[in-house]
A = this chain, B = another copy of it.
Amino acid sequence: MITKVLVANRGEIACRILRACREAGIQTVAVCAPNDQGTLFTEMADELVVLDGDTIATTYLDQEQIIQAALSTGSDAIHPGFGFLSERAPFARSVKQSGIIWIGPSPEAIEQMGDKMTARQTMRNAGVPVIPGEEVESEDEHEALAALVEASERVGYPLLLKASSGGGGKGMRAVYDPSDFLQSAEGARREAVAAFGDGRIYIERLLNGSKHIEIQILADRHGRTVHLGERECSVQRRHQKVFEEAPGPTMTAELREAMGQAAIQAAQAVSYEGAGTVEFLLAPSGEFFFLEMNTRIQVEHPVTELVTGTDIVREQLRIASGQPMSCGDLNIRGHAIEVRLYAEDAANNFLPSIGPLAVFRPPEGPGIRLDAGVREGDEVTPNYDPMLAKLIVWAPSREEALQRMRRALDDFVILGTTTNVRFLRELCDAQPIVDGTTTTTTIDEHWPNGWTPTPAPLLEDASLLAAAAGETMGMHRTTTASLDGESQGLPSPFSTLNRRYP
Contact = CB atoms under 8 A, between A and B. Distances in A.
Contact of A369 (B366, B404, B493): B366
Contact of A403 (B25, B305, B333): B25
Interface in A209-266: none
Interface stretch (A113-121, A267-275, A394-402): A394-402
Contacts of A25: 403
A484 B474 CA distance: 9
A488 B475 CA distance: 10
Contacts of A333: 309, 331, 333
Interface stretch (A15-23, A27-35, A196-204, A419-427): A15-23
Nearest to A375: B364
Contacts of A131: none
Interface string A389-418: 000000111001001101100000000000
B314 A334 contact: no
A314 B396 contact: yes
A219 to B, nearest CB: 18
- Identify which of A16, A366, A472 gathers the most chain B CB atoms within 10 Å of its CB: A366
A473 B488 contact: yes
A488 to B, nearest CB: 7
A111 interface: no
A244 to B, nearest CB: 16
A483 to B, nearest CB: 5
Contact of A478 (B396, B475, B481): B481
Nearest to A313: B366
A366 B302 CA distance: 9
B19 A407 contact: yes
A397 B484 CA distance: 52
A463 interface: no
B483 A473 contact: yes
A326 B490 contact: no
Contacts of A37: none
A24 B331 contact: no
A365 B474 CA distance: 35
Contacts of A472: 483-484
Contacts of A285: none
A371 interface: yes
A404 B397 CA distance: 26
Interface string A332-371: 0110000000000000000000000000000011110111
Contacts of A309: 333-334, 396
A305 B481 contact: no
A311 interface: yes
A311 B371 contact: no
A15 B16 CA distance: 28
A24 B399 CA distance: 10
A482 interface: yes
A490 B480 CA distance: 11
Contacts of A22: 407
A372 B366 contact: no
A397 to B, nearest CB: 7
B492 A481 contact: no
Interface in A297-314: 302, 305, 309-311, 314
A326 B473 CA distance: 50
A327 interface: yes
A491 interface: yes
Contacts of A493: 491
Nearest to A397: B326
Given A314-B400, A333-B331, A396-B311, A19 B477 contact: no
A478 B477 contact: no
A449 interface: no
A16 B310 CA distance: 26
A494 interface: yes
A72 interface: no
Given A403-B25, A404-B23, A483-B473, A311 B366 contact: yes
A16 B366 contact: yes
A183 interface: no
Contact of A364 (B331, B370, B403): B370
A481 B472 CA distance: 10
Given A311-B395, A366-B311, A474 B478 contact: no
A311 to B, nearest CB: 6
12 contacts: A23-B403, A302-B366, A305-B366, A309-B396, A311-B395, A331-B331, A366-B369, A474-B481, A477-B481, A478-B490, A479-B481, A490-B492
Identify the 10 closest CB pairs spanning chains A and B, nearest first: A474-B481, A477-B481, A309-B333, A23-B403, A473-B483, A19-B365, A492-B492, A309-B334, A23-B407, A478-B490
